[in-house]
């Protein structure tokens, strides 16, 4: 898709995993054809930006050679599944993912809205409940639990039947009127129309909201990057170590790593001040932005109190706005500050410059309840 600084290209790796050859290959292609910072997305995809129209065919051919292009566009757009990065060898997750992709590619598969997605959350405990998905599959005493997002009950299923049950739910979504003009989400349907009793025989167990882990975990090492942007050289270096699993928290799990990779700029700890700020693309990458966003967010990060999150938005549209306590919105005359709202909320202060914002954050550090 076009953007302010050239084309943006999104790669949706199978299983959210890049083999070492794919990671290395993408790094080579990005170094040649795109901006040197690669965006990780909240759908565990990888985005290259700043691509010239003239380079697009060669880039596409390179990705095809790496096995990262689906045979047809429908297959790619239907393959909207998020896989927990914490799967273990032998736990059946890759096989389940392949079966689901196969089922979604069948001619009898329902035509689902573009944003409709599946979460394969089959690690020891569910970690994807905070991530957008419409049909969820989780591990359960009887094998798997398959349920509609927004419902408190689902169907227990064996590994052999789990995908069949998931497709049954997808068909129900369509026949119950969940989709209209290519739009619609499961939670909205479930709020109006309860899931049929035979698809809701088993309660969904409550779990604590999972905080995304950083650093060493049993499956390897989770590393992050400022603003979820991975430098090409870092992708190259990490891919030399092992395959990489992309996470929906805009980080990467270095598969099987037993120590933190010795590379500069990696985020490996939850207390890293860079995790307290986020920013949309801003200028010049987005043509709608009134100002650059990331330089300001970077400068302000050390001033944000640990209990707060600050988001800097290039305009009032507020793309990918997280649940931030503070939002700065760029305007032609400075930055507006919104407390506990969205980028479109009425501002609490207008036309601030960096010094005024810094003063506000320092005040907040002494009165964090504000
Ligand atoms: S919030 Fe505005 S400036 Fe930021 S990426 Fe979206 S449209 Fe562009």
pLDDT digits (tens, 9 = 90+) for 203-239: 999 887 667 889 999 999 999 999 999 999 999 999 9
Cα first-last separation, the chain: 40
Q: How many CB atoms lie within 10 A of CB 247?
A: 26
Of the candidates 272, 276, 274, 294, the one whose C-alpha atom is nearest the C-alpha of residue 284 is 294
Cα dist from 60 to 26, 57, 100, 171, whole Å: 11, 5, 26, 33
Q: Which residues, given as ranges, of the chain have pLDDT below 70?
A: 209-210, 368-370
User: Do 253 and 222 touch, CB atoms closer than 8 A?
Assistant: yes
Ligand 1: which of 42, 229, 288, 338 to mutate, judged by most atoms within 8 Å of the beta carbon? 288
Q: How many Å lie between the centroid of ligand 1 and the Cα of residue 362?
A: 27
Ligand 1: which of 289, 296, 321, 344 to mutate, judged by most atoms within 8 Å of the beta carbon? 289
d(CA 368, CA 370): 5
d(CA 64, CA 160): 32
Q: How many Å lie between the centroid of ligand 1 and the Cα of residue 291?
A: 10
Q: Does domain 273-366 correspond to CATH entry 1.10.1040.10?
A: no
- Every domain range in the chain assigned CATH 3.90.480.20: 2-71+219-255
Q: How many Å lie between the centroid of ligand 1 and the Cα of residue 290?
A: 9
Q: Which protein residue's CA is at the shortest distance from atom 7 of ligand 1?
A: 288
Q: How many Å lie between the centroid of ligand 1 and the Cα of residue 367?
A: 31
Q: How many CB atoms lie within 10 A of CB 314?
A: 26
pLDDT for res 369: 58
Tokens coding 320: 């990918």
User: Do 107 and 75 touch, CB atoms closer than 8 A?
Assistant: no
Q: Is 277 in the pocket of ligand 1 (CB under 6 A)?
A: no
d(CA 336, CA 351): 6
Of the candidates 316, 310, 349, 348, the one whose C-alpha atom is nearest the C-alpha of residue 330 is 316
- Every domain range in the chain assigned CATH 3.30.413.10: 273-366
Half-sphere exposure of 141 (CA within 13 A, CB side): 4
Q: Which protein residue's CA is at the shortest distance from atom 2 of ligand 1?
A: 315
User: Do 297 and 277 touch, CB atoms closer than 8 A?
Assistant: yes
Tokens coding 333: 């005359």
Phi and psi torsions of 174, nearest 5°: -70, -50
Q: Is 315 in the pocket of ligand 1 (CB under 6 A)?
A: yes
CATH of the domain spanning 2-71+219-255, picked from 3.40.50.300, 3.90.480.20, 3.30.499.10, 3.90.1150.10: 3.90.480.20
Tokens coding 70: 């689906």
């Amino acid at each position: 898709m076009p953007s302010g600084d050239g084309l943006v290209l999104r790669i949706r790796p199978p299983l959210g995993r890049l083999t070492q050859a794919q990671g290395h290959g993408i790094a080579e292609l990005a170094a040649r054809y795109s901006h040197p910072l690669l965006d990780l997305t909240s759908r565990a995809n990888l985005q290259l930006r700043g691509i010239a129209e003239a380079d697009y065919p060669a880039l596409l051919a390179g990705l095809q050679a790496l096995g990262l292009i689906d045979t047809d566009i429908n297959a790619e757009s239907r393959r909207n599944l998020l896989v927990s990065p914490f799967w273990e060898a032998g736990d059946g997750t890759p096989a389940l993912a392949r079966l689901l992709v196969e089922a979604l590619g069948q001619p009898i598969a329902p035509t689902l809205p573009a944003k409709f997605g599946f979460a394969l959350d089959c690690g020891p405990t569910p970690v994807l409940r905070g991530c957008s998905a419409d049909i969820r599959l989780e591990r359960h005493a009887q094998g798997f639990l398959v349920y509609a997002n927004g419902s408190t009950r689902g169907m227990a299923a064996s590994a052999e039947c789990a995908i069949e049950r998931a497709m049954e739910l997808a068909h129900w979504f369509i026949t119950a009127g969940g989709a209209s003009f290519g739009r619609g989400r499961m939670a909205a349907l479930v709020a109006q129309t309860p899931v049929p009793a035979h698809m809701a025989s088993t309660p969904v167990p409550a779990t604590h909201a999972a905080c995304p882990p950083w650093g060493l975990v049993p499956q390897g090492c989770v590393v992050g990057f400022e603003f979820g942007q991975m430098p090409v050289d870092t992708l190259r270096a990490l891919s030399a170590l092992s395959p990489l699993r992309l996470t929906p928290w805009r980080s990467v799990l270095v598969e099987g790593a037993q120590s933190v990779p010795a590379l500069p700029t990696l985020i490996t700890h939850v207390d890293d001040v860079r995790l307290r700020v986020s920013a949309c693309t801003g200028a010049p990458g987005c043509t709608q932005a009134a100002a650059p966003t990331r330089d300001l967010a970077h400068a302000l990060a050390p001033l944000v109190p640990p209990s707060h999150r600050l988001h800097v938005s290039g305009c009032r549209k507020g793309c990918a706005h997280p649940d931030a306590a503070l939002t700065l919105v760029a305007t032609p005359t400075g930055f507006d500050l919104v407390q506990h709202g969205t980028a479109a909320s009425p501002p609490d202060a207008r036309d601030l410059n960096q010094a005024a914002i810094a003063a506000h954050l320092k005040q907040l550090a002494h009165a964090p309840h504000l």
